[in-house]
Amino acid sequence: MEILKKAKAVVKNTPKFMFWTMPRSIFGWRSIVSNHQHLTDMMDTLRNPHCPMCEKGVMFVHKDAEPDENALYPWTCSGGCGFGVFTQKNQKAINEVLLPLITKKGRAQLNGMSEEEQTGLIKSHTRQSRIFWVFAALCPLIALYSFATGSVGLTCISILSMTLPFSILAIKWSYRAWQVRTGTLYVEGAFKQFVKRGLWIPRVEI
């Protein structure tokens, strides 16, 4: 009787294994999910405010974070400086808490820079943007070459998938350069306008 139960269980689970579990394993489902989370975190670096303490990291809520008794989530610095605040888990809430402080500090720093220093900062950000655009352009070529030379398909897909994160980083530094150039610091909706007007495209200026 026990053998019969085990046999039924095997028959019942076989379709799931063949048509769901095994294909997901073959196509690297876990890797895809992990890469998706990584891309989501990278997008947050574009939208979320910078840490007002170290100015190197951005404020984010860890995916495993739990709310406190007031339903507020811990926002921490991605740079690991230790700064953090509790607020609701949405862009509007964290912006309302930090943007007044960041804007005041950022404008003071920008106003304290000479024209030469601002130009140097713009060039530095633009240079980083162009480097990442080059990496983004190389990924499809490397993936195509790998495919042509007989590499495993999953390897080629992994290489090709790096185009997106490199593009995100390129847009990020292009946006930072535009912010310094125009003095548009932490203005609500500025990034959306930056993207809509195509200012993220190399060589396109306002």
The answer to whether 121 and 113 are in contact (CB under 8 A) is yes
The answer to whether 27 and 154 are in contact (CB under 8 A) is yes
Please count the structural domains in the chain: 3
Quick one: 27 and 79 in the same domain? no
Quick one: 118 and 206 in the same domain? yes
Quick one: 158 and 174 in the same domain? yes
Q: What is the pLDDT of residue 87?
A: 92
Would you tell me how many other CB atoms lie within 10 Å of the CB of residue 51? Answer: 24
Quick one: 75 and 85 in the same domain? yes
Q: What is the pLDDT of residue 114?
A: 85
Q: What is the pLDDT of residue 47?
A: 65
Q: What's the distance, CA 202 to chain centroid?
A: 20
Give the end-to-end CA distance of the chain in Å, rounded to a whole number: 77
Pairing of strands 84-87, 73-77: antiparallel
Quick one: 122 and 205 in the same domain? yes
Residue environment code for 194-203, b if the CB has 16+ CB neighbours within 10 A, otherwise e: beeeebbeee
Burial level of 179, CB count in 10 A (0-12/13-18/19+)? buried
SS3 60: strand
Tell me how far apart the alpha carbons of residues 70 and 87 are, in angstroms, rounded to a whole number: 9
Structural domain of residue 54, as residue ranges? Answer: 50-112
Give the angle subtended at the CA of 171 by the CAs of 169 and 176, to the nearest 5°: 95
Q: What is the pLDDT of residue 202?
A: 62
Please give the chain's pLDDT, 206 residues, in tens: 454 444 344 434 444 443 344 444 444 445 444 445 555 555 555 667 778 888 778 888 888 888 888 889 999 988 888 889 999 988 888 888 887 777 777 777 777 788 888 889 889 989 999 999 999 999 999 989 888 888 777 778 888 888 888 888 898 889 888 888 887 776 767 788 888 887 777 665 54
Structure tokens at 126: 């633009």
Tell me how far apart the alpha carbons of residues 118 and 131 are, in angstroms, rounded to a whole number: 20
What does DSSP assign to residue 31?
H
Residue finishing a domain among 112, 127, 146: 112
Quick one: 203 and 128 in the same domain? yes
